[in-house]
Amino acid sequence: MAALCLLLLLSLAEAIDLRVPELPVIGLLDKDVILPCWFTPSEGFTPKNLSVFWKLPNQQQDYGFVLGEDLQENQSPQYKDRISLFHEELSKGNMSVLLQQVRLTDEGIYTCFVNVQNSSSASVSLQVGAPFTKPTLHLEPSEALKPGDQVTVTCHTYDGYPEANILWQNGEGQNMTENITTSQVANEKGLFHVQSSLSVILETSDTYTCLVFNPVLQDVTHASLTVTGQHLSFPPLVLWVTVGLSICLLCLLVALACVCRKHLKQTCEEEQENAGNEEHEENGELKTAMQPLKVTSPGEDDDAECLE
């Protein structure tokens, strides 16, 4: 029945100048959206002389308004109670419809057919979008890092539609296009989970930013992570081992200093004792050398010889 009405409408010679957006209409998931279609009515126009049909995407049935009444029986189950005209605007030539609680399956081409003594049609494209969550970043490995290490920064974002465009930047805002792996998987609702990994050789310090761009919503969300080529954390065990070794080394140095001092003192005492003995011996020899010699006269020597 709807198809026959459309053929009759299109068979009329003169067309109404309908106006619709040239660019696709963007509908947010689970939000309401308006699909515009309007014309400039002539004087004396009344909705009682108006017939409107909307051809819905991938549907055999249409949504219609004929001679002042809605054709509720022709509504598709998918759109039932979710699509409606602005009845108070019909007299102004506004044939737009309100689509409530947008679904992913609502995406497609909607065609507006209008007949007021003559007829015309125009099509509106609906694109559905859902914003991605703010990305979360994960670093692997995350400890004991030093310059020259290879690390992987992974970006996660969820529940967006359609597939996102992922871009990585360094701390200077330069795009990074190498060593990037990205996967996008749709869940049971048709929304995408995005995982993108960036492998880099760690510098002394740098910042890595993951940008998630929604091509339909023209929306960008991002997150950043700063990584340094130093130990990000100092384990307590290593700390106590270092302190213990330092104390042991200090005790060893003190003990060594005591031993060296004792040995040095003993050596000094021995040298002093040896020096004292040498001085005593020298004094004894000097005394012996200084004893008086006995002097005899020549006569005494002869008498002694005679007695013998």
What are the sequence ranges of the domains in the chain? 2-129, 136-228
Cα dihedral 8, 10, 13, 16 sign: positive
Nearest in space to 106 (alpha carbons), one of 164, 38, 161: 161
Please say whether the beta carbons of 168 and 196 come within 8 A: yes
136-228 folds as: Immunoglobulin-like (2.60.40)
Q: What kind of fold does domain 2-129 have according to CATH?
A: Immunoglobulin-like (2.60.40)
Distances (CA, A) of 133 to 161, 198, 222: 11, 19, 9
Domain 136-228 in the same topology as domain 2-129: yes
Complete edge-to-edge strand list for the sheet that includes strand 33-35: 33-35, 97-99, 83-85
Centroid of chain to Cα 247: 43
Of 41, 34, 1, whose CA–CA distance to 20 is shortest? 34
Within 8 A by CB and 6+ apart from 142, the residues are 232
Q: Which residues of 284-303 are buried (b: 16+ CB within 10 A; e: fewer)?
A: eeeeeeeeeeeeeeeeeeee
What is residue 105's DSSP assignment?
G
Tens of pLDDT along the chain (308 residues) come to 444 444 444 444 456 789 999 999 999 999 999 999 999 888 777 777 788 888 888 776 677 766 555 666 666 778 888 888 898 888 889 999 999 999 999 999 999 999 887 889 999 999 999 999 999 999 988 777 788 888 999 999 999 999 999 999 998 889 998 889 999 999 999 999 999 999 988 877 889 999 999 999 999 999 999 888 664 444 556 566 777 788 888 888 888 888 777 777 777 777 777 766 666 665 555 455 555 544 444 544 444 443 33
